[in-house]
Amino acid sequence: MRFRHLALLGILFILLSSLSGTTDKASAQSTPVDIAQNKIVQAFQIVQQADLDGASAAAVSQLASSLNLALSFEQSAIELLPTNKTGSGIYASLSLNLSTTTSVEALSVASAARTQTLLSRLGVYSLALATGLGSTLLVIELHRVKSFVRKIRLRRLRLE
């Protein structure tokens, strides 16, 4: 559990540091790198929500690994941006595709975790209701049970 939080915090730190150092304020248009950065941030938030919704550690770890790979693609795109715009666009596209896929997987994992939580709660509440109903019937009908036990003992005594 601690590893998940550290991994997600590390990804967030890297994202924020890369966003603060590479923002081009002179350009009014979004570059593929900017779009990829925004999508990675969205994917990170979705993965974090999946973790909060109770997704398994293995699923969150796999999603974090995918985000790390998308982040490395995005870093490569940033590094190539001044010298090779085509290569930068390719890496930004790879980052965008991977972060989009990771977002979809994270939504699926979060949905499954929420469904599992709902089913678990439903099972626990059903068991509590059945136990309460059973104990209520036992308390209300206890005199009949005592009477039934007395009749059985009398029959045994008559048979002997």
Write the single-letter amino acid at 14: I
Considering the segment(s) 2-128 as one domain, its CATH architecture is Up-down Bundle (1.20)
- Please state whether the predicted TM-score (pTM) of the whole model is above 0.75: no
* Per-domain residue ranges of the chain: 2-128
Instruction: With residue 40 as reference, give the H or E element that holds it.
Output: helix 32-52
Asked if residue 61 lies in contact with residue 4, where contact means CB atoms within 8 angstroms, the answer is yes
The residue behind tokens 């730190």 is: 13
Q: How far apart are CA 160 and CA 151, in angstroms?
A: 15
| Terminal alpha carbon distance of the chain | 67
Q: How far apart are CA 75 and CA 86, in angstroms?
A: 15
- pLDDT, one tens digit per residue, over 133-152 is 999 988 888 888 888 888 88
Whether residue 18 has pLDDT greater than 90: no
Confidence band for 85, pLDDT divided at 50, 70 and 90? confident
